[in-house]
A and B are shown apart, each in its own frame.
Chain A
């Protein structure tokens, strides 16, 4: 059997190294990185075609003993939860790299770090050893830290340090939880831990779960642990933002489902109402903050807070519909927010500003940009026919099943979301053109158009045919609840 997962990790790592070594010429660095980022995509599509999503077991498992005294091994595998995340990462990284074609400063370092980041992210999703998981989790912070601190905006130091410390503090809680599980189960193996899920006493489960909720929650992020996100996004370079919002945040959701929900059935019952409350608060609070933003990128950042709140709500329902919807929403949000962060970059390139008060009437000047922005906004506010709609339906159905008429509370966020996007579109796209932005604006360059077109194509495709994604997930979420 071909070790697909190791291949993905090794080829991406090799790509990172080669990008740095061969990339004395900027163009070579970009090409090497993009080509090496496409190979993992091809592999994950092959896996998609060959994987049996009706099975509850992990597939493509590779198991090599590593530090056997401690029960640590190099174990990889994917299931209906992690594979969509792997697919998402392998889709988004090449697109983010293409979009970063105009990076001029320290090009080979940038592209090498992006690939390094991909290794760490995929490693997080596919590790079936908790120790290995944690190593990837920690390693992932470093490239992101440098992406912000070296290629970031004016307040990059503040933002990058804040990002690092926030997630580092969260990591300590995650680490403590993993160690505690190790002492309870006697192994770092996730497969063993899953087999013995429930053997832990309730009194043990609850504090560990709380640690995971805070630790993984800060990464998602959830209110009130979200404040690093807008700062990090505003300062991060566009390519970094795309990956940060598109994939990195999903590590939090993934971790919470894998370690919290799957391993601790008693604690999850206990925390259901709290998680639902935090989820709903994140949704409404994030959406309200979006209304107040004047920086386009900050608006999109807060909308991520709101949408990840929806994910948490879906998880908290502990129904098949809610959980499937949450996992699907992570996938959908990856595509949509990735596209929207690209738009933030596009707007800045074209006009030199992201200030919503200044941007006005762009539609006639740069029509393709306007169409892309309208489409992505509509996708984010859950327009049917685009990918996020069906995820929201699943989550709201799950919410009604689990919490009855409380479902009306998160619906407020659905209206607010429409409000802030329409308000933003009215300012930025419509109205009379603001002549201060210059006489001539160049519409999308091909390196902007290609990734945006691919994303929009996928958003429409999975919107019309959501079964392609949902079929990966349902068996998994059915197995949990």
Chain B
């Protein structure tokens, strides 16, 4: 007996927790928090056991028929990639749900919160464990709905309700395309099972580009890649813990996972790799530039997530022989740790300050040392400070892109974009850290304090991983997560490459510049807005390249405006024509006459009609329009009889 045989419990436990908390949470402590935390903790333990099993015995699959005769099934597939994702997701979710004990302590709707968190985690775990694309899609959508509910958790705020809708709708565009890709694969191969598809793939690789790109379109929506990235910055309207989950574990990583999972298809369509890499590169650089001008502490982190997801896509787009797969998944893991840390630390700051605005902060280091130091570790990690986890994975990403350039020169451009992004990332993260923790408190209207232990302990645990997880690459990771054949990178080898030194320089350069501007003050921030050209650039970044405006115009002026026109068309033209035709022939003239009267005489008339006694109404009908329809009926019957007589049946 092995532990993987119990892996079906991994999604089921949180689903059961969801039901328990949803129905009985009000009667429990903290709105059912212990149930959710215990459920997530047990999925983490199971995931660790599964990881050991998979490490020893290799991949595992179990499946049962779902809809007979269609080849559609429900099942679990666990390989190294699955095992890694399970560990990352369950660990981060556990940290977030423990942290929630402190963060959500005063919220009146805790039951709903913990129920939805359990459902969210369970759906994500189902997505990871699915053994076929359709089942994966089912959980994929459930993850989307949970994020809809959680982003809109404080739904009485109109901004939250609107952000929730935006997240669902924008990702829905990707989802619909994803589903189409699935339909195409199903029609072509008659199965959606990963293992079966992989076998069939070897025989018939024609016409795979479109389905592959449609799968990627799903990932573009879910993982907030350009041009569907617009929902993620608004998603911070939810509680910060939810942001941490979405950004680090349960939502946006699904798209990266999908691309990694689809590698067996992508390897047959090299063009798809290039497109993925280009989208990833654009996203990484563009989002990093937008992060530069944010004053909302969560806003900076949101754009940073988009940018880092772009990094992962960029790596995955570098392809298997450049070890992009390994680099991308390695960055996914490290990013999960440091981004969860950064969001939770930001939550701790917001908890103390009561605002997201960094202009009100400053000087918080002396009041909240644990938050400050853990966030510094997270910032160093994402900025690529040597030997922090982000340093190793960022370097692997850039190195894989450089390798891919041997086949296609476009990758050189993407490499340059990656290096610039690394510089910008280091800069905006330290801008954030200095503005928040160093100097003097700019707004004295509040008294900052360190957060409770339920919040700081998860921060410390995550900080350890954000700092140290990078070394795992040389101690097993690269031999465990790979596609095709494993890379064999050593630390010594890394530092023999000039590219490594370049990325160190980019990271330290960014940190250094931020230090000069926001700590030492030797360069004034006004340099960035000196002159009309720089102001225009800044304005463009503040307006997020006007993409929200363009989408809003399409949605409101375009689609909604057009729908109003169509509604008029339907009432006046279509209905009018139909009514007109009918009134020419039979009785509807009366009805439209009635309509006119109704419109002219207004509601008073209508209300009095509604209060007619039924008997009077029936009488009314008999004396009124009933003969009209009676005549139609008689006409029909007469026609039937005449026809029968003509043909001699009667």
Contacts and interface: CB of A to CB of B under 8 A. Distances in A.
Nearest to A157: B594
B155 interface: yes
A124 B549 CA distance: 53
Contacts of A69: 649-650
B239 to A, nearest CB: 16
Interface stretch (B1-9, B50-58, B136-144, B321-329): B136-144
Nearest to A381: B172
Interface residues of A, number: 75
Contact of A157 (B142, B176, B578, B609): B609
B183 A407 contact: yes
B156 A426 contact: no
B567 to A, nearest CB: 4
Interface stretch (A241-249, A284-292, A343-351): A284-292
B521 interface: no
B213 to A, nearest CB: 13
Contacts of B168: 418, 422
Nearest to A292: B567
B382 to A, nearest CB: 33
A158 B180 CA distance: 43
A180 B105 CA distance: 74
Interface in A53-71: 69-70
Nearest to A420: B563
B582 interface: yes
From A161, A179, A364, name the one whose CB has the most chain B CB atoms within 10 angstroms: A161
Interface in A157-192: 157-158, 161-162, 164-166, 168-169, 171-172, 175-176, 179, 183
A364 B187 CA distance: 46
B564 A168 contact: no
B559 A419 contact: yes
Interface in B156-192: 156, 158, 160-162, 164-165, 168-169, 172-173, 176-177, 179-180, 183-184, 186-187
Contact of B173 (A291, A396, A415): A415
B570 interface: yes
A385 B66 contact: no
A376 B467 CA distance: 46
A155 interface: yes
B145 A378 contact: yes
Contact of B587 (A149, A165, A291, A411): A165
A225 B636 CA distance: 20
A179 B158 contact: no
Contacts of B635: 172
B169 A105 contact: no
B187 A400 contact: yes
A369 B171 CA distance: 27
Contacts of B550: none
A422 B145 CA distance: 11
Contacts of B618: 150
A149 B173 contact: no
B629 A431 contact: no
A3 interface: no
Contact of B559 (A291, A378, A384): A291
Contact of A364 (B141, B156, B172, B586): B156
B155 A430 contact: yes
Interface string B179-212: 1100110110000000000000000000000000
A154 B179 contact: no
A227 B570 contact: yes
A431 B598 contact: no
Contacts of B621: 149, 157
B218 to A, nearest CB: 13
A390 interface: yes
Contact of B614 (A106, A153, A384): A106
A154 B591 CA distance: 13
A290 B564 CA distance: 10
B183 A383 contact: no
Given A393-B134, A400-B184, A414-B176, A227 B578 contact: yes
B166 to A, nearest CB: 9
Given A149-B617, A162-B588, A426-B165, A431 B563 contact: no
Contacts of B644: 70, 179
Interface string B44-77: 0000000000000000000000111110000000
Given A155-B606, A164-B629, A432 B156 contact: yes
B643 A179 contact: yes
Contacts of B68: 467, 471
Contacts of A33: none
B591 A161 contact: yes
A175 B639 contact: yes
B187 A165 contact: no
B586 A165 contact: yes
A253 to B, nearest CB: 21
A401 interface: yes
Nearest to B586: A165
Interface in B565-584: 566-567, 570, 574-575, 577-579, 582
B138 A385 contact: yes
Interface in A287-345: 288-293
A168 B169 contact: no
Given A291-B560, A383-B145, A467-B68, A172 B180 contact: no
A400 B183 contact: yes
Contact of B165 (A153, A384, A422): A422
B633 interface: yes
B186 A397 contact: yes
A153 B606 CA distance: 9
Interface string A138-152: 100000010001100
A40 interface: no
A154 B606 contact: yes
B632 interface: yes
A429 interface: yes
Interface in B584-622: 586-588, 590-592, 594-595, 598, 603, 606-607, 609-610, 614, 617-618, 621
A224 B578 contact: yes
A165 B134 contact: no
Contacts of A432: 156, 158
Interface string B620-650: 0100010011001101100110011001011
A138 B588 contact: no
CB-CB nearest 8 A-B residue pairs? A154-B606, A430-B161, A292-B567, A384-B138, A291-B563, A430-B155, A227-B575, A292-B563
11 contacts: A161-B629, A162-B591, A179-B640, A292-B560, A384-B137, A384-B138, A393-B134, A396-B179, A415-B173, A418-B169, A474-B69
Interface of B: 66-70, 134, 137-142, 145, 148, 152, 155-156, 158, 160-162, 164-165, 168-169, 172-173, 176-177, 179-180, 183-184, 186-187, 555, 559-560, 562-564, 566-567, 570, 574-575, 577-579, 582, 586-588, 590-592, 594-595, 598, 603, 606-607, 609-610, 614, 617-618, 621, 625, 628-629, 632-633, 635-636, 639-640, 643-644, 647, 649-650
Interface of A: 69-70, 105-106, 109, 138, 145, 149-150, 153-158, 161-162, 164-166, 168-169, 171-172, 175-176, 179, 183, 223-225, 227, 285, 288-293, 361, 363-364, 378, 383-385, 389-390, 393, 396-397, 400-401, 407-408, 411, 414-416, 418-419, 422-423, 425-426, 429-433, 466-467, 470-471, 474
